[in-house]
Amino acid sequence: MPNLHDIERRISSVSSTKQITRTMEMVAAAKIRRASDRVANALPWAMAVSDMMHTTAEHAPIDIEPLLQTHDEVKKALVVVLASDRGLAGGFNSNVLRYAEKIIREKERAGIEVEVVACGKKAIGYFNYRNIKPVMEFQDLSADPTFGEAAQIAQYVAENYGAMKLDEVFLVYNHAKNAAEQTLVEQQVLPIDEKGYEELLGLKPREEDIFKQWREKDMSKLPGDVDFEPEPGKVMNYLMTAYLRNAFYYALLDSAAGEQGARRNAMKSATDNANEMVSTLTRVYNRVRQGAITTEITEIVGGAAALEE
């Protein structure tokens, strides 16, 4: 049975930890609002890019844009993994990293070479420990991502996919479903998965594939005359570049919001556990103290009785 001093020291230690976790919970709660606002502000542009790309593709053959092509054979894939720079966020990082590693191993078993882009210190450390050297690394930006980070990733993807050095590109991250819940997302960036992209942005899925007439050369429904300025190739290239930058930037913002939500949940659970532990230790303290008092009283009574005899 621990003595009273040990229990008091333990209660003090847990109370100090509770103050830290409570503070971190409040900080994360404040950051959630800002991160969620950034996601909401990015959504109109994401929807506009998607709509412009679909509309333009109806009047411009998609075979003029390399980034819209589907490669006949998949030899090399790229997995972009979004994690955080800091821990104390529950299973936020472990879920993403384990799922990304699962994708990598499955691709390798299928004979596909896999490259990794790691965003966040946790992702960098995880893959380096497993001897998977990322081709690009980003750190100290997970809680406050920049458009420049997304542009660098988009440029690497565009150059290598257009040069046939990449055949598939995937994004793995936690989608902030709401302030309290995160959902693991595997998004195929290239070749474009129109349905998945629209579902992610919250757009209404289209009933038909607007690229179908160009894939199957179905010219039964001829579009009206459309003049492009500049020429169609440059327009499609601009839209595809904007799509790639937006896809990565939106995912980075979404992951940042999810990180704060996960950290708040983790710190709230830690605070609740600390409160429960303090309550339990206080009960133990009172029980030990009462036992000590009872023992002292018994000894006094016994001593008094011995003196009387």
Same domain (yes/no): 91, 113:
yes
Same domain (yes/no): 124, 17:
no
Q: Can you give the pTM of this predicted structure? A: 0.77
CA distance 19 to 11: 12
Contact 233, 64 (CB under 8 A): yes
The residue behind tokens 């070479």 is 113
The whole-number pLDDT of residue 78 equals 93
Q: How many domains does the chain have?
A: 2
Same domain (yes/no): 18, 144:
no
Cis before residue 134, ω within 30 degrees of 0?
no
Contact 84, 46 (CB under 8 A): no
Strand-pairing partners, residue 186, are: 172
The whole-number pLDDT of residue 134 equals 92
Of 87, 99, 110, nearest to 171 by C-alpha is 99
| pLDDT by 10s per residue, the chain, length 309 | 567 788 888 888 888 888 888 888 888 888 888 888 888 888 888 777 777 776 776 666 666 777 777 888 889 999 999 999 888 888 888 899 999 999 999 999 999 999 999 999 999 999 999 888 999 999 888 888 888 999 999 999 999 988 888 989 999 999 887 777 788 888 888 887 655 555 544 444 444 444 454 445 454 554 556 677 777 777 777 888 888 888 899 889 988 888 888 888 888 888 888 888 888 888 888 888 887 778 777 777 777 667 776
The whole-number pLDDT of residue 223 equals 53
Give the CATH number of the domain where residue 237 resides.
3.40.1380.10
DSSP-derived letter for residue 111 is T
Same domain (yes/no): 173, 152:
yes
Instruction: Please work out, in degrees rounded to the nearest 5, the angle formed at the alpha carbon of residue 55 by the alpha carbons of 50 and 56.
Output: 100
Radius of gyration of the chain (CA): 29
Same domain (yes/no): 202, 281:
no
CA distance 92 to 116: 19
Same domain (yes/no): 73, 103:
yes
Burial class of residue 118 in the structure, from the number of CB atoms within 10 Å of its CB (0-12 exposed, 13-18 middle, 19+ buried): buried
Same domain (yes/no): 281, 203:
no
Same domain (yes/no): 68, 201:
yes
Q: Which domain holds residue 12?
A: 4-24+273-306
The whole-number pLDDT of residue 199 equals 53
